[in-house]
Amino acid sequence: MFTGIITDVGTVLEAEQRGDLRARIGTSYDVSGIDIGASIACNGVCLTVVALGQSPENWFDVEISAESVAKTNIGTQGNDWHVGRRINLERALKIGDELGGHIVSGHVDSVAEIITMKDEGDSTRFTFLAPEAFAKFIAQKGSVTLNGTSLTVNDVDGCSFGVNIIPHTKDVTTWGAAKVGDMVNLEIDTMARYVARLQEFST
């Protein structure tokens, strides 16, 4: 489990198709404190560490299934994981850690497209277009995870929704380099999913 609070921005150092896709990600994390088999959210996708190293910089390897590639922006949905691609990272939640965002599983549901960006003071209002199948789970003032970042929904209009991203978030994540047309990983709030499911049985 994760919280959607980004703690590092990594860089794709290598990406190779070996049946599944295998990627090497450079990080500022101390890899001596990471175990093989540990989970790290990479742009919101929960991936398992299969190798570690420290030459010439700290790195870890992950293997990514075809299912994950197909449903996320790792593959052909835009913004694929080419060498040099920067990605948001978060290590798995530990008992006693501060829960600063919301409960995030790292199981990406789909991708959403950035359709507008507008500066509002020092912050930027992003508007996204979500797939119709998942738009019903997104509610005003609710939580949503985009590229691994826990964000609050400000408004909803059909399949589009808006969030404001503050300067600090843009500085410490990849959001500072985002642009209209980018496809971002979308994970809907788990509680919203269960509420919608319960409503199906009550009608």
Q: Could you tell me where in the chain the CATH 2.40.30.20 domains are found?
A: 8-91, 110-202
CB 90 within 8 A of CB 3: yes
What is the predicted pLDDT for the residue at 79?
A: 55
Quick one: CA torsion of 100, 106, 108, 113, rounded to 10 degrees? 40
pLDDT tens for the 203 residues of the chain, in order:
899 999 999 999 999 988 889 999 999 999 999 999 999 999 999 999 999 999 889 999 999 999 999 899 997 554 588 899 999 999 998 877 777 778 899 999 999 999 999 999 999 999 999 999 999 899 999 999 999 999 999 999 999 999 999 999 999 999 999 999 999 999 998 777 767 667 777 66
**What does CATH list as the number for 8-91?**
2.40.30.20
Judge residue 142's burial from the number of C-beta atoms within 10 Å of its C-beta, 0-12 exposed, 13-18 middle, 19 or more buried.
Answer: middle
CB 144 within 8 A of CB 162: no
Q: In this structure, which topology does domain 110-202 adopt according to CATH?
A: Elongation Factor Tu (Ef-tu); domain 3 (2.40.30)
What separation in angstroms does the CA of 149 have from each of 83, 174, 200? 22, 10, 29
The 3-state DSSP class for residue 141 equals coil
User: What is the Cα–Cα distance from 63 to 60, expressed in whole angstroms?
Assistant: 10
Q: How far apart are the first and last CA of the chain?
A: 32
User: What is the Cα–Cα distance from 109 to 3, expressed in whole angstroms?
Assistant: 16
What is the predicted pLDDT for the residue at 95?
A: 75
- pTM score, two decimals? 0.92
Alpha-helical (H) ranges within 57-189 are: 66-71, 132-135, 167-172
